[in-house]
Chain A
Amino acid sequence: MAETSKLREKVGDLPAQLDPAIVERVEAEVAAFNSEVEAEFGDEIAHLQELTSDGSGVMSDPERRRALYRYVHRVWGDAPSRGHPLLGRAAESLCLLLENDEPSDDMQIAILEHHVAAMASI
């Protein structure tokens, strides 16, 4: 067994903590970047509403359901970093619903619609 230490040979010893000046710089750059892309979020939620306008159709078609899952999953991943943790939580919850492969019933379709309405409100 060989140790995966090629990186250490290349970069040498590292301090345990990242330089606070770098953290500060990244935070400022990310904040500026987030304000640049804030407007796009509205478009993404509008697209989500389009994707789910036919709730029963989406829930009964595995391919559309999978595509919706991927879209919502992306929102789940992105939203907290974009300053919308609550939206991320709602997306996570919706992903749990969509992961379930069992045939959907009226209750699941209603839950889907309520999730999308909640995400649009947030």
Chain B
Amino acid sequence: MDTTAFQELTVLVVEDSDYYRRLIITNLEAMSVGTTEESVNGEDAFEAQQVRSIDLALVDLEMEPVNGLELTRKIRRDEKSADRELPIIMITAHTDEECVFAARDAGVTEILTKPITAESLYKRIYSVVMHPRPFVEHETFVGPDRRRGDCTEYHGPDRRLNGSSTE
């Protein structure tokens, strides 16, 4: 990996655990991320997102007073948001389907489950960078397209079949 790849990036780390915040930043610094910003809850993070230019946010789920899902919705929908399309990687210890769907429906770009490793973190960043999904702005949903089909160019009547035949 070219170690200069991430040098121009500013990554916002939103995590209320001092330990985990430092762990994430240790990983980012080892990947030569140029700038890391820190927030301890969603409220502070939303303010930081308005005044600093952020390329990527790593957001913990369980925080107070504003949790990771609420922060994601604010970034996606609030008129004060500096970048509604900001890629957001949600970090959580929860692996249940309910949590994954809630994150997806809030507009999260990727989910990363704890415990994190350098490889798992890189894999999510890689996915955000190399496999961006169309950004959807609709009355009921704002965020990266929740469908992850490979066939993104085809818009015909059978587009949901993803190449498989009905016969």
Contacts and interface: CB of A to CB of B under 8 A. Distances in A.
Interface of A: 1-8, 10-19, 22-23, 25-27, 29-30, 33, 37, 70, 73-74, 76-78, 80-82, 85, 88, 92
B19 A4 contact: no
A29 B25 CA distance: 11
Contacts of B22: 33
Contacts of A15: 1
B55 A7 contact: yes
Interface centre among B93, B122, B125, B133 (most CB of A within 10 A): B93
B133 A30 contact: no
Contacts of A70: 62, 64
Interface centre among B64, B130, B137 (most CB of A within 10 A): B130
A6 B82 CA distance: 14
17 contacts: A3-B133, A3-B134, A4-B134, A4-B135, A11-B8, A11-B129, A12-B5, A16-B126, A18-B31, A25-B30, A33-B22, A33-B26, A37-B19, A70-B62, A70-B64, A80-B114, A80-B115
Given A1-B135, A3-B135, A11-B6, A18 B93 contact: no
B144 interface: yes
Nearest to B64: A70
Contacts of B62: 70, 73-74, 77
Given A70-B64, A78-B17, A4 B133 contact: yes
> What 6 pairs between A and B have smallest CB-CB spacing?
A80-B115, A1-B134, A26-B118, A18-B122, A81-B115, A5-B132
A33 B20 CA distance: 11
B109 interface: yes
B81 interface: no
B42 interface: no
A2 B116 contact: no
Given A1-B145, A33-B22, A82-B19, A18 B135 contact: no
A27 B132 contact: no
A81 B30 contact: no
A23 B118 contact: yes
Contacts of B60: 77
B151 interface: no
A53 B117 CA distance: 35
A81 B118 CA distance: 12
